[in-house]
């Protein structure tokens, strides 16, 4: 092989190794900032191709706030509550002011870190404002959970 081709081949190999290394480092850095969305049912059932949540994992969890589960600390802004869909209940711990639309029986999405198998330390809590629309996959998982529309007159709430 002549020296010119050898030099060109060396540069091509160095360039491929450099691009591969940079790409690998970028993917590794991005893997720590990925927040996967889970529902409480995902803690029991592992769907095909979906990993169960692990302690220490950053995640988002969505579901309905369980009636009677909201506990507020009178001294601080610390709140704990439980979220469910059709599966188990997951405890959410949050330090801060909750959204105005937050209440029992309302759909929420909490983002944070799993600190125990079914306990999430939330850094952010979002209340769903419109229960009329749900993504099809979430609606399928939430079947059977009764939601009371607060804007509906009282006489209509009584009828099934």
Measured at the CA of 68, the angle between CA 66 and CA 70, to 5 degrees, comes to: 80
Question: Of how many residues is the chain composed?
Answer: 160
The phi and psi torsions of 24 (rounded to 5 degrees) equal -65, -40
Distance CA 105, CA 102 (A): 9
- For residues 74 and 134, give the distance between their C-alpha atoms in angstroms, rounded to a whole number: 34
User: Binding residue per annotation — 32?
Assistant: no
CA-based radius of gyration for the chain = 23
Is 28 known to sit in a ligand binding site? no
Q: Is 3 exposed, middle or buried (0-12, 13-18, 19+ CB in 10 A)?
A: exposed
Query: Are 73 and 154 a contacting pair, CB within 8 Å?
Result: no
For residue 11 the two structure tokens come to: 């540069």
Please enumerate, by residue number, every residue annotated as part of a binding site for heme: 129, 133
- Annotated binding residues, written as ranges, equal 129, 133
């Amino acid at each position: 092989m002549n020296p010119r081709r050898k030099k060109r081949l060396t540069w091509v190999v160095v360039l491929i190794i450099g691009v591969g290394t940079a790409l690998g480092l970028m993917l590794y850095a991005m893997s720590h900032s990925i927040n996967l969305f889970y529902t409480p049912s995902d803690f029991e059932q592992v769907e095909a191709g979906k990993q169960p949540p692990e302690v220490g994992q950053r995640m988002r969890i969505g579901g309905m706030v369980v009636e009677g589960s909201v506990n507020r600390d009178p001294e601080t802004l610390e709140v704990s509550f439980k979220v469910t869909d059709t599966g188990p209940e997951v405890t959410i711990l949050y330090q801060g002011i909750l959204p105005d639309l937050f209440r029992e029986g309302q759909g929420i999405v909490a983002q944070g870190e799993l600190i125990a198998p079914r306990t999430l330390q939330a850094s952010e809590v979002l209340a769903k404002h419109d229960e009329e629309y749900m993504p099809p996959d979430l609606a399928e998982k939430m079947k059977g959970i009764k939601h009371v529309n607060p804007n509906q007159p009282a006489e209509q709430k009584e009828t099934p």
